[in-house]
Structure 1
Amino acid sequence: MKTQVFGHLNTISLDVPRTSDLAKMNQRLVDASSQFKKKQGKGTIDVWWLFDDGGLTLLLPHILTTRKKWKDCKLRIFIAGQPERIQQDKDEMQLLMKKFRIKCDDIQVISDLNVRPSVESWKLFQDMIEPFRLHEGSKDTTQAEALRKEHPWKITDHELVTFEEKTIRQVRLNELLQESSRAAKLVVVSMPIGRKGSVSDYLYMAWLDSLTKNLPPTLLIRGNHQSVLTYYS
């Protein structure tokens, strides 16, 4: 339903959700807020440990499985690897889990993380960020500088080029997550780093939105590279 607001100089069209849509949205929020208050049935906690961050991304899901509400869930671990050493990477990860006494039912090595995402996925991402781009490259120097000062949180053409590889990675990772983890009770993923002053607010939030799109409840974790795994974990 659209409501039009008329003024002396212009007309503004606002998208106002219908009452039924609001009711459904509120119910989803209520369901989501109480989802983890009850015992989780049989299923998996999928851990996508993509960077060695000290082990926090592994430790927290392991602790969850020792609690009553999550005891029926099993850990599945996904790690990034190279096609020519998939078995070696898997064996090394199994040794690490055994060393720290973390029970894991399945370890999968993802060897095609660096493949470009599909045209459709990439277009959806481009469409999503379009309203938040400056497009300063099409302006003269003075106009471009004024835009950057007025909207420092928006996405510049320069940073899109600078962080293209990292952006592609988030879109591609979501494709892989949807292929392997759509049925998980919980997905735990290494959180991408966004350094203050180098990545705009909108681009970083677009990364997170793209990464978690159409997934089960997802927990983003990033350790500070200090080891939290010990022989007594």
Structure 2
Amino acid sequence: MLMLLPFLLKQHKVWRKCNIRIFTVAQLEDNSIQMKKDLATFLYHLRIEAEVEVVEMHDSDISAYTYERTLMMEQRSQMLRHMRLSKTERDREAQLVKDRNSMLRLTSIGSDEDEETETYQEKVQMTWTKDKYMAARGQKARTLEGMQDLLNMKPDQSNVRRMHTAVKLNEVIVNKSHEAKLVLLNMPGPPRNPAGDENYMEFLEVLTEGLERVLLVRGGGSEVITIYS
């Protein structure tokens, strides 16, 4: 898909004069020369004109920037979880908004003779019951506890490794293609657990940082391109 899409885009007059460059990542144990030769041969049989370049990604130490970026990401996710309302609280907030809107509609329908009543309604204040006080107190305690957790938390090592990969790939992409009019990337697979959505979006943000136009591509696993098609 990553090879076919730029080829199809070049058929349009907007992209016709653009050159296609295909980068493939090689590990330390891979044969970079053979990889480049095989990919160039494959493109030749597909009749796709493109420049092939193999980028070697060596294992490197995790930088302080990566560690800090991961920590900020996890702190943000935890803060969002603490800020989310429970189902009961959401229902209560929705009912308050509904009651307030109903009162405003009734007030606008009333005549000028109801001015004293309207004035009285505007002066009505919310009263604190014991239950409301205890609920607010408990919410404050949970907030303070959550803030303490944020200060003491350490980033998950799996997230640190993913962030390290995203940072290093971004450095290579920006170095090679910062002036490119369009960059096509293989989109990482989304998390199976919905709780990791915030972290997933942060990884994508880091991966595409500093690039003008990015198209993330992910196939369904059944796409096949052959030299006989």
Gaps of 5+ in 1: 1-55, 137-145, 148-156
State how far apart, in whole Å, the 2-side matches of 1:58 and 1:208 are.
21
The worse-fitting range, judged by mean Cα deviation, of 108-117 and 71-80 is 108-117
What is the CA distance between 1:167 and its match in structure 2?
A: 2.8
- Residue-by-residue CA offset, 1:59-103 (whole Å, 9 max, x unaligned): 111111121110010100100113451111100110111121111
Q: What's 1:97 paired with?
A: 43
State how far apart, in whole Å, the 1-side matches of 2:169 and 2:32 are.
18
Q: What's 1:183 paired with?
A: 179
State how far apart, in whole Å, the 1-side matches of 2:69 and 2:157 are.
18
State how far apart, in whole Å, the 1-side matches of 2:27 and 2:164 are.
18
TM-score by length of 2: 0.60
Q: What's 1:13 paired with?
A: none
What is the CA distance between 1:118 and its match in structure 2?
A: 4.2
RMSD: 3.0
Residue identity (%): 28
Structure 1 residues 93 and 127: alpha-carbon distance in aligned structure 2, compared to 1, 3 A threshold = same
State how far apart, in whole Å, the 1-side matches of 2:171 and 2:71 are.
15
Could you tell me whether the CA contact under 8 Å between 1:59 and 1:228 is conserved in 2? Answer: no
State how far apart, in whole Å, the 1-side matches of 2:69 and 2:158 are.
20
Structure 1 residues 122 and 63: alpha-carbon distance in aligned structure 2, compared to 1, 3 A threshold = farther
SS for the counterpart of 1:220 is strand
The AA in structure 1 aligned to 2:170 is N
Alignment of 1:35-184 (within 5 A): 56-83=1-28, 85-104=31-50, 106-112=51-57, 114-116=59-61, 118-133=63-78, 160-184=156-180
Q: What's 2:220 paired with?
A: 224
Structure 1 residues 174 and 113: alpha-carbon distance in aligned structure 2, compared to 1, 3 A threshold = farther
The AA in structure 1 aligned to 2:176 is S
State how far apart, in whole Å, the 2-side matches of 1:161 and 1:118 are.
13
What is the CA distance between 1:119 and its match in structure 2?
A: 3.2
Q: What's 1:11 paired with?
A: none
Which has more radius of gyration?
2
State how far apart, in whole Å, the 1-side matches of 2:210 and 2:18 are.
21
- Residue-by-residue CA offset, 1:8-57 (whole Å, 9 max, x unaligned): xxxxxxxxxxxxxxxxxxxxxxxxxxxxxxxxxxxxxxxxxxxxxxxx12
Corresponding pairs, count? 159
Could you tell me whether the CA contact under 8 Å between 1:79 and 1:109 is conserved in 2? Answer: yes
The AA in structure 1 aligned to 2:17 is D
Q: State yes or no: 1:214 paired with 2:189.
A: no
State how far apart, in whole Å, the 2-side matches of 1:159 and 1:228 are.
39
The AA in structure 1 aligned to 2:56 is S
Q: What's 2:197 paired with?
A: 201
What is the CA distance between 1:169 and its match in structure 2?
A: 1.1
